[in-house]
Structure 1
Amino acid sequence: MGQGHRLTFDMSATVRHPAEPAPDPAATAPGGRSRPGRARLSRSQLGHARSLVGVVPFVAFVTVFLAIPTIVVAVGAFTGDDGRPTLSNLSALANGYIIDAFTRSILLSATTAVIGAILGALLAYALVTAKEGGLLRRIVTAAAGVLAQFGGVTLAFAFLATIGWSGFVTVFLREHLGIDLYSHGVWLFDLPGLVLVYTYFQVPLMVIVFLPALDGIRPQWREATESLGGSTWQYWRRVAGPLLAPAFLGSTLLLFANAFSAYATAAALVSQGSPIVSLQIRSALTSEVVLGQQNLGKAMALGMVVVVAVVMALYALLQRRTAKWLG
């Protein structure tokens, strides 16, 4: 009686219910001890490896077109003609024409960044007040995404064909209205012309980068301000303004870096002279240079890298502060 009872107990302990899943042999150790986390860990590691494969092209692109050129510029800036380390290239940056080029580049970048930030912020605010998901907003957003990348030789040719010395707008105004756009000089090929051309792609870029911050402003905040007796000016001064200030300043810094590092548009528009530092680098690399200063172009490029790095570091700090309330 006792043995039959024991036999019944043993069989019930080993019989598996039909609804239960079969045990995984890979998760069972020798000797009957189970290892439930091993198969799961292997699948997790496999998924992590697959995700890393998708990052390989991006890492390769950054390495080839950003990391390696930066290293070459940094090493060349501290290398003399004989291959030995030297500081003569950096000391040559104190020359007057190089300082003037950096000054004009900073002035050009700051001017276009401020103008582009103000006009782009106003346009982005107009899009926010429009119907969400409407046709107008989608068209303007798509156009901003295209025009923000519309630069280089194509943009320079567009301005030359439009308001250049023989552009159709210039000819029309001169022949039919008696207005000469170049009565005070050929300004399009100098710093004022670069300001106008750079602003063309700075405004849509501001729309793209500042629009998410405006979308993060909740209508309930304005309603709460009005319910407490606050005016529109008080709402923008005490609520929306402080919240949008980091995003606005960060976007302005991004526009500054974008204009400071631009080259192709200015190179296609300015054929003579080197008013900004990027064109000075072109002149140092393509023309005859003074003996002992072959790496002067790399030293100027290193200076540009330092300026852009400082600006982008400030931009990252402001974006981190914006993400606290935008998220």
Structure 2
Amino acid sequence: MTAETVTAAAGVAPAAPAAAPVRPGSARRVLSWVAGHLGLLPFLLYTGVFLGAPVVMVAIGAFQDNDGAFTTENLTAAFADQFGRSFATSIELSALTAAAGAILGAILANAVLGAKPDGLLRKVVSSAAGVLANFGGVPLAFAFIATLGSIGIVTKALAGLGFDIYAGGFNLFTFTGLSIVYVYFQIPLMVIVFTPALEGMREQWREAAANLGATRAQYFRLIAVPVLLPPFLASTLLLFANAFSAYATAYALTTGVVPLVPIQIGSLVSGNVVADQQNLGKALGLGMVVVVALVMAIYAYLQKRASRWLS
């Protein structure tokens, strides 16, 4: 007979199994996790109210008509006629300035890294890149108007030397002029985001390649390019998203002459509403969210791939 049978026959209830002891270390880990994540609550609340909620409202409104009924007409109109052309122009402008800014910024970052780490040149370029990357909006547009506008300082100086750039077809207030302005803040942003990748290139790799008989061209083609290509492409995508979402500079410089999606949204939000299409601006905004989300998803993937070598 077992012990359980004997206690049951005697009318005595079997003792309840002893509870597993709580390890102090587990409790401390739980409390530490809770305390550590409490600091994220203000950030999550802030982003939820000012970023998450507007995105949800835009996504819902893009599929509603004026009466709140479900419709897809807003999205159809957002990619047709003038609004469709604004998407094409925004993508073209963003891709062009991202490519130019990435190439020129990478060359500048590589040149700066050749200077002394604590030298004046490196400090000046790093500081200037941090400032100029955030120098945008109306002040940047005014600076270029005062410099390269039709009566700008540089324009007048060149005209005095016999070079009338406006007579030659240049115009600051067109797609070409806007591209030059965008490249102005794309280059320093590329310097900031691509410099860590260049710093991650280990000197031991070059020495090992030289010891194995590799030339500088072979080292660049077989080692440097494969390692630096993912972060370079990721940085280019970041520049694309930066240009695609810019609004104030383009509006102040061209006053809507160049059709861009942010300007179209601003026009609709400010009251220039197409008849019976009040939610058209939300549809355009949803399109921008999708484009930027795709770009940033590819950016995150490339960054993760690059971190295997540069971490």
What's the TM-score, normalizing by structure 1? 0.84
| Matched AA of 2:284 | M
Match of 2:39 among 50, 54, 60: 54
| Matched AA of 2:77 | A
| Number of the residue aligned with 2:214 | 230
| Number of the residue aligned with 2:308 | 324
Root-mean-square deviation over aligned CA pairs: 2.0
Q: Which structure 2 residues correspond to residues 243-254 of structure 1 after superposition, within 5 A?
A: 243-254=227-238
| Number of the residue aligned with 1:148 | 133
Shift of 1:41: 4.9
Aligned: 1:110 with 2:115 = no
CA contact (8 A) 1:274 1:283 kept: no
Question: Take 2:201 and 2:91, find their aligned partners in 1: how far apart are those partners?
Answer: 32
What's the TM-score, normalizing by structure 2? 0.88
Partner-residue secondary structure (3-state), 1:81 = coil
Query: Structure 1 stretch 110-119 or stretch 220-229: which is displaced more?
Result: 220-229
Shift of 1:140: 1.3
Shift of 1:183: 1.3
| Number of the residue aligned with 1:296 | 280
CA contact (8 A) 2:105 2:190 kept: yes
Question: Take 2:92 and 2:34, find their aligned partners in 1: how far apart are those partners?
Answer: 47
Q: Which structure 2 residues correspond to residues 83-94 of structure 1 after superposition, within 5 A?
A: 83-94=68-79
| Number of the residue aligned with 1:201 | 185
The number of residue pairs the alignment matches comes to 293
CA contact (8 A) 2:241 2:292 kept: yes
CA contact (8 A) 2:110 2:198 kept: yes
Aligned: 1:160 with 2:174 = no
| Number of the residue aligned with 1:265 | 249
Shift of 1:147: 1.0
Partner-residue secondary structure (3-state), 1:280 = helix
CA contact (8 A) 1:73 1:298 kept: yes
Shift of 1:98: 1.4
How many percent identity over aligned positions? 55
Shift of 1:120: 0.6
Question: Take 2:70 and 2:84, find their aligned partners in 1: how far apart are those partners?
Answer: 24
Shift of 1:54: 2.8
Deviations 1:221-274 (A, max 9, x none): 111212222111111100111000101111111111110011111111111435
Partner-residue secondary structure (3-state), 2:39 = helix
| Number of the residue aligned with 1:276 | 260
| Number of the residue aligned with 1:212 | 196
CA contact (8 A) 2:175 2:258 kept: no
Query: Structure 1 stretch 68-77 or stretch 223-232: which is displaced more?
Result: 223-232
CA contact (8 A) 2:174 2:257 kept: no
Question: Take 2:147 and 2:22, find their aligned partners in 1: how far apart are those partners?
Answer: 68
Question: Take 2:128 and 2:35, find their aligned partners in 1: how far apart are those partners?
Answer: 35
For structure 2, list consecutive stretches of 5 or more residues without a partner in the other structure: 1-19
Identify if the C-alpha distance between structure 1 residues 94 and 44 changes in structure 2 by more than 3 Å, giving closer, same or farther: closer
Shift of 1:42: 5.1
